[in-house]
Amino acid sequence: MTVNWNQGLELGIKKIDQQHRAFFEERDKFVTACTQLLKKERDSEINREKIAEVFYFLTDYFKTHFSDEEQLLQEKEYSYYEEHKQRHQKFIKEVQQIKYEFLQTDEINIELVHQLKDKITNWFVNHIAKEDKKIANHL
Residue 124 binds Fe ion (CB under 5 A) = no
Angle between helix axes 110-126 and 14-39 (nearest 10 degrees) is 160
Identify which of residues 54 and 132 has a Cβ nearer to Fe ion in the complex.
132
Whole-angstrom distance, CA of residue 80 vs CA of residue 129: 16
Query: Which residue stretch of 23-31, 51-59, 99-107, 124-132 sits at the interface with Fe ion (rule: CB under 5 A)?
Result: 124-132
Question: What backbone phi and psi angles, to 5 degrees, belong to 14?
Answer: -50, -55
The 10 Å CB-count burial string (b at 16+, else e) for 94-119 is ebeebbeebeeeeebeeebbeebbee
Kindly tell me which of 47 and 69 has the beta carbon lying closer to Fe ion.
69
Contacts (CB under 5 A) with Fe ion, residues 53-82: 69
Stretch that binds Fe ion, among 33-41, 93-101, 105-113, 125-133 (CB under 5 A): 125-133
Our finding on whether 121 is near Fe ion (CB under 5 A) is no
Residue with Cβ nearer Fe ion (30 or 69)? 69
Asked if residue 132 binds Fe ion (CB under 5 A), the reply is yes
Q: How far apart are CA 126 and CA 42, in angstroms?
A: 33
Q: Which residues bind Fe ion (CB under 5 A)?
A: 69, 132
